[in-house]
Each structure stands twice: as structure tokens, then as C-alpha cells.
Amino acid sequence: MIQKFDKYKTNLTRVNEDIYSYSTKVATIDKNNLIQLGYWSVTTQKHINYVARELNLNLIK
């Protein structure tokens, strides 16, 4: 499953349980959690925070 989000349409993508900012895997979904994979730029962090809110997930850094 590939999902684009309403905001950040061109740079943010969900592929199955993985979240990609631009072409980099930055987080993964595990049940009710969004697990952040490392530390990222301000823009990428905005993407991660947005996904957590949109999908109603707990963000784990």
C-alpha cells in the first residue's frame, strides 16, 4: 500500500508500515506507535510529527 498525505504531498509517503521523507525511510509504524529512526532535519521532523498526528499514533523517538 502506498499512501500520500494531504499536506506534504510531494515529499512524504507511506509504503506499507514505513514512512519516507523525500526518499529516505525515517519512521516505521508498529501497532499504535510511530517509531522514529534517528534524528532528522527540522523539515523531516515536521513530516514525522505530522504523520503521528494524522494517523493518531504515539511518536517514539
Question: Where do the domains of the chain lie?
Answer: 2-44
pLDDT digits (tens, 9 = 90+) for 22-44: 999 999 999 999 999 999 999 99
Note the pLDDT of residue 41.
93
The conformational region for residue 12 under phi > 0 = left, psi -120 to 50 = alpha, else beta, is beta
- CA gap 39, 10 in Å, rounded: 21
- pLDDT band per the 50, 70, 90 thresholds, residue 21: very high
- CA gap 42, 59 in Å, rounded: 16
pTM of whole model > 0.85? Answer: yes
